[in-house]
Structure 1
Amino acid sequence: MNRDPLTVDAPRLQAVLDALDDPDCRAIVEQLREPMTASELADACDIPRSTTYRKLDLLTDVALLDERVSINPKGHHSTRYGVAFDEVRITLTDDRTLDAEINRRAWTPDERLSELWDEVRREL
């Protein structure tokens, strides 16, 4: 599933903290200088593939990563993951509760166009 990091709901504080507290999740985020597939990440981070998929689900669920499906000319598809944030802040709100604030990176025009094409393909 493609998720626009600008339109997802704000994740719960504990879910963000859990993801960032996980060493495998941090290794994945640190490795993502450019979008990569789950297999590429598993190899680069030396994490079993089954674990990598669970960690990618966790990171995308809390909107720290985005996922993009790309289709090559032969009809095969692959999902690539990329970092969806520039900064995570833990703040103390006016009512004295803690909150996670995620400053998301802006999507490039190419990413937006890719998302539009994906939506058109799903409608066909």
Structure 2
Amino acid sequence: MVPAPAPSDDGPSPEVVLEALDDEDCRTILQHTAEPMTATDLIDACDISQSTVYRKLDRLCAASLVREQDRINPNGGRVTLYERDFEDVTISMESDDTFAVTIDRPPRNAGERLADIWSKMGDEL
């Protein structure tokens, strides 16, 4: 596969988004992630193998279609939850004849924004 060109901003390239949406397993995962789910829950709900679920979640996260959140597990350690992170995806043609992608996201409250920051900090450790 040819790598997608770098996007002009911090968002994913149209190619990355379209490849994720064109994938049947990715679409199945998106249908089940209206509410946060663990990868284990997704394996059961989607009837997809463990290695495939993790590959598809990586693809969906790279396309900014799924949000990964780490939560502290009361029994120790962290648990990672995945949730669909868009309300609408628009692919458009720019004035310079290039494609652009716009991803409309649901509003986040202060607690969700703080959880996102905490999750990203955990990745740095």
Q: TM range, normalised to the smaller chain?
A: 0.7 to 0.9
Normalised to the residue count of structure 1, the TM-score between the two structures is 0.83
For residues 70-117 of structure 1, the C-alpha deviation after alignment (integer angstroms, 9 at most, x for no partner) is: 112322311000111111001011112222111122222221232344
Q: Which residue of 2 aligns with 1:81?
A: 82
Q: CA 1:47/1:118 → structure 2, altered by over 3 Å: closer, same or farther? A: closer
Structure 1 or 2: larger strand share? 1
Contact kept in structure 1, 2:14 and 2:100, CA below 8 Å? yes
Task: Return the alpha-carbon distance in structure 2 between the equivalents of residues 77 and 9 of structure 1.
Answer: 27
Q: Which residue of 2 aligns with 1:24?
A: 25
Segments of 5+ residues of structure 2 without an aligned counterpart are 1-8
Segments of 5+ residues of structure 1 without an aligned counterpart are 1-7
Q: CA 1:116/1:98 → structure 2, altered by over 3 Å: closer, same or farther? A: closer
Q: CA 1:97/1:118 → structure 2, altered by over 3 Å: closer, same or farther? A: closer
Contact kept in structure 1, 2:36 and 2:81, CA below 8 Å? yes
Q: Which residue of 2 aligns with 1:98?
A: 99
Q: Which residue of 2 aligns with 1:55?
A: 56
Q: CA 1:119/1:40 → structure 2, altered by over 3 Å: closer, same or farther? A: closer
Q: Which residue of 2 aligns with 1:11?
A: 12
CA RMSD of aligned residues (A): 2.1
Q: CA 1:14/1:118 → structure 2, altered by over 3 Å: closer, same or farther? A: closer
Q: How many residues align?
A: 117
Cα distance, 1:122 vs. partner? 7.3
Paired AA for residue 98 in structure 1? F
The SS at the match of 2:74 is coil
Normalised to the residue count of structure 2, the TM-score between the two structures is 0.83
Cα distance, 1:119 vs. partner? 6.1
For residues 46-84 of structure 1, the C-alpha deviation after alignment (integer angstroms, 9 at most, x for no partner) is: 100110000000000111111011112322311000111
